[in-house]
Homo-oligomer: A and B are copies of this chain.
Amino acid sequence: MLFFTQCFGAVLDLIHLRFQHYKAKRVFSAAGQLVCVVNPTHSLKYAPTRCTAAQASTEQGMLPPCHHHEEVHDPQLVPCTCPLFSCPWEGHLEVVVSHLRQTHRINILQGAEIVFLATDMHLPAPTDWIIMHSCLGHQFLLVLRKQEKYEGHPQFFATMMLIGTPSQANNFTYRLELNRNQRRLKWEATPRSILECVDSVISDGDCLVLNTSLAQLFSDNGSLAIGIAITTSKVHSSEAEM
């Protein structure tokens, strides 16, 4: 009798494994789209006042706005844009990508349309999910951040920054799309330049914003899939119509 019970248990396990495998495959087959699993970055070094000096210089019309040091050495030098890391590095725009890859181990993906699959959405704020995206001859930085703007109420903020100048950024449009449970949410905007500060973009709320309840509706098994597409920008044709 014990033998039969064990056999039945083994069959159930096999069915369960087969189902898990099917589910995993379904997520990653994504009809030609590259799905990238992005694990969270949870740092205790979070320095919310990092951009205070930066914002003051922006108000005076100066760039780049995100310097850690009060004195601006060279307008071509870019401080490290990797959020949540109080990284003292600064360098020219051309070497930001290699710094982010080598020092912060941020992955870089190729392709016009990718799916960003952020895992462990339940982790407490502040948490970031970061990836670089190489497309149309440029590199972009996608930041998804869980943050408590209102104490006790974490929200998710997603934005895309061009690793380039603000005038280069104006040539592009990025789209973030969530699609699950018969709900769809799309955000389209011009990417900001990393010379602007990701912290201030998020604190201004000028990005895709999700309450926890909505993030849960769009999540599957604790992971949030965000479809990303980048195009060269054109004037939004329906804007004039509205």
CB-nearest residue of chain B relative to A27? B242
Question: How would residues 178 to 210 of chain A score, 1 for a CB under 8 Å from any chain B CB and 0 otherwise?
Answer: 011011111111100000000000001110010
Please give the number of chain A residues whose Cβ is less than 8 angstroms from any Cβ of chain B in the complex.
Answer: 38
217-242 of chain A: CB within 8 A of chain B: 217, 225, 227, 233, 236, 238-242
Q: Does A214 contact B (CB under 8 A)?
A: yes
A238 to B242, CA, bound (A): 27
Q: Is the CB of B186 within 8 A of A242?
A: no
Q: Does A213 contact B (CB under 8 A)?
A: yes
Q: How many copies does the complex hold?
A: 2
Report A208 CB to chain B, min CB distance, Å: 8
CB-nearest residue of chain B relative to A190? B182
Identify the A interface with B (CB < 8 A).
Answer: 26, 30-31, 33, 115, 149-150, 153, 173, 179-180, 182-190, 204-206, 209, 211-214, 217, 225, 227, 233, 236, 238-242
Interchain residue pairs A-B with the least CB separation, the first 7: A184-B188, A150-B150, A186-B186, A205-B213, A205-B211, A31-B241, A183-B189
